[in-house]
Amino acid sequence: MPNKHKKVLILGSGAAGLTAAIYSARANLKPILIHGMQPGGQMTITTDVENYPGFPDVIQGPWLMEQMQSQAENVGTKMITDTVVSAKLNVRPFELVCDSGDTYTTDALIISTGAQAKWLGIDSEKKYQGFGVSACATCDGFFYRGKEVAVIGGGNTAVEEALYLTNHAEKVKLIHRRDTLRAEKLLQERLFSHPKIEIIWNTVVDEIMGNTEGPMPEVTGISLKNIKTNEITQHNLQGVFVAIGHTPNTEIFGDQLDKDAEGYIITKPDSTATSIPGVFAAGDVQDNVYRQAITAAGTGCMAALEVEKFIAEQ
Ligand code: NDP
C-alpha cells in the first residue's frame, strides 16, 4: 500500500479536470489525475458537439475528451485509473485512499468529479442515449430543427429546456408526472403561453420507441402512461430530453466541505476555493447552472491558477 505524495492531485477527467491538469502541468506542478474506468466525463455520453469553440466542423464528444487527455499527458500529467473511496481533508497533507489500496497525500486538491444527469431508468432510454435521447437541450437542441421533441420533468431545468427547444423544434411536449410544476412562476407563465409547447400532466414515460435498422439508431416516438387513468398514448416525435435533475459526485467528501442542499460544492465568489484552504472545486461538481464543457474547462483553468498561487504561498 504505497503512499505517494503529490503537490497537486486532480480528481476527475472531464473538461474541468483535464483543463486543470494542462494548466498545472505547464506550471511544473507535476499533477496526477485520478479517473474512474470510463475517463472523459459526461462528454463521452454525448455524440455531436458543435458549441465547443475552435472547431468549425461538428466534432464528437468522446474525441474531444481524448484530445484533451492527450494534451494533458503531453505536457506532463500522470493519469491514473483508480477510484477514490475515501478522502481525509482535515489533515495536512490531504489523504486519499483508492479502491486499489493505494493511498495518496497531496498539498492541494482539485475536485472535478462532475455530476450525473438523473435518468428515468427504462431500457429504451439507454438504448437511444446519444441518438435521440439527451439530458442537455443546450448541447443537442440544434439537431431537432423543425422536428417534434418531448421534455420530461417539471422543475426549472425542464421548463427552461422546453422553452429553449422552441428555438429549434416545431413542437415541444412537456411531460410531467404531477399536475403542478416545481419551476419558478415566471418560467411557468412563459411555458403556459408558448404556442409551440403542449403540457401533458400526470404522465410518465412508458417506453421510448425507435429504429435501430438504419446507419444510426433513431427515436421515432414515445409511449406515455397517464398515472391517474392508466391510459397509454403514443406520440410520434424524434427527440426526448430527460430533465429530472442532476446529482453531483460529492459523496466521498461527506460533510467535510460546504455543500448546498443538493450536494453541490460551494465555491467562493469568482473563485474555485472551497471551504477548506487548498481544496478547489471545478466544473459541474460546483456548477448547478451552466453545466457546459466550456464553462467546466474555464473553472478547471481557474482552479489550476489558484492552486499555483496557493502552493507558492505555502
Ligand atoms: P428539480 O429537482 O428541481 O426538478 C426535477 C423534476 O423532475 C421535478 O419536477 C420532478 O418531479 C421530476 N422528476 C424527478 N424524478 C423523476 C422521475 N423519475 N420521473 C419523472 N419525473 C421526475 O431539478 P432541476 O434540474 O429542474 O433543478 C435543480 C436545481 O437547479 C433546482 O434548485 C432549480 O431551481 C435549479 N435551477 C435553476 C435554474 C435557474 O435559476 N434558472 C435553471 C435550472 C435549474 P416532481 O416535481 O414530481 O418531484
- Interatomic CA distance for residues 18 and 33, integer angstroms: 8
Kindly give the distance from the C-alpha atom of residue 21 to the centroid of ligand 1, in angstroms, as a whole number.
Answer: 32
Q: Please report the pLDDT score of residue 20 as a whole number.
A: 98
- Pocket, ligand 1, Cβ cutoff 6 A: 120, 152-158, 160, 177-178, 182, 204, 244-246, 288
pTM of the model: 0.77
Q: Which of 152, 244, 284 to mutate to test the pocket of ligand 1 (most atoms within 8 A of CB)?
A: 244
For residue 140, indicate whether it is catalytic.
yes
Instruction: Report, as an integer, the average pLDDT of 192-206.
Output: 98
Q: Which three cell numbers stand for residue 163?
A: 422553452
pLDDT at 51 over 90: no
Task: Give 102-152 pLDDT, tens digit per residue.
Answer: 999 999 999 999 998 899 999 999 999 999 999 989 889 999 999 999 999
Is the CB of residue 139 less than 8 Å from the CB of residue 296?
no
Kindly give the distance from the C-alpha atom of residue 246 to the centroid of ligand 1, in angstroms, as a whole number.
Answer: 8
User: Which residues, other chains included, contact 52 with Cβ-Cβ below 8 Å and sequence gap of 6+?
Assistant: 59, 64, 293, 294
pLDDT band at 2 (very low <50, low <70, confident <90, very high): low
- Interatomic CA distance for residues 217 and 223, integer angstroms: 18
Q: Please report the pLDDT score of residue 40 as a whole number.
A: 87
Q: Which of 119, 156, 208, 291 to mutate to test the pocket of ligand 1 (most atoms within 8 A of CB)?
A: 156
Q: Please report the pLDDT score of residue 70 as a whole number.
A: 98
In the chain, how many H helices and how many E strands?
A: 7, 19
Comparing 32-36, 134-138, 256-260, which segment has the lowest mean pLDDT? 134-138
User: Which residues, other chains included, contact 253 with Cβ-Cβ below 8 Å and sequence gap of 6+?
Assistant: 87, 89, 111, 259, 265
Q: Please report the pLDDT score of residue 88 as a whole number.
A: 98
pLDDT at 239 over 90: yes
Task: Give 52-82 pLDDT, tens digit per residue.
Answer: 999 999 898 889 999 999 999 999 999 999 9
* DSSP run (H or E) holding 106: strand 103-111
Q: Please report the pLDDT score of residue 313 as a whole number.
A: 96
Is the CB of residue 48 less than 8 Å from the CB of residue 1?
no
Q: Please report the pLDDT score of residue 23 as a whole number.
A: 98
Instruction: Report, as an integer, the average pLDDT of 191-217.
Output: 96
For residue 98, indicate whether it is catalytic.
no
User: What are the C-alpha distances in Å from 294 to residues 16, 18, 139?
Assistant: 9, 12, 11
pLDDT at 222 over 60: yes
E strands, 167-272, where?
171-175, 197-200, 203-211, 218-226, 232-236, 239-242, 246-248
Instruction: Report, as an integer, the average pLDDT of 219-225.
Output: 98
- For the CA of 246, the closest atom of ligand 1 is 25
pLDDT at 1 over 70: no
Catalytic site residue from 107, 136, 284, 301: 136
Kindly give the distance from the C-alpha atom of residue 152 to the centroid of ligand 1, in angstroms, as a whole number.
Answer: 10
Q: Please report the pLDDT score of residue 138 as a whole number.
A: 85
- For the CA of 153, the closest atom of ligand 1 is 7
Q: Between β-strands 103-111 and 279-281, what pairing exists: parallel, antiparallel or unpaired? A: parallel
Rounded to the nearest integer, the mean pLDDT of the chain is 95
pLDDT at 3 over 80: no
Report the percentage of the chain scoring pLDDT > 70: 98
Comparing 42-46, 87-91, 158-162, 202-206, which segment has the lowest mean pLDDT? 42-46
Comparing 41-45, 87-91, 139-143, 270-274, which segment has the lowest mean pLDDT? 41-45
Instruction: Report, as an integer, the average pLDDT of 227-239.
Output: 98
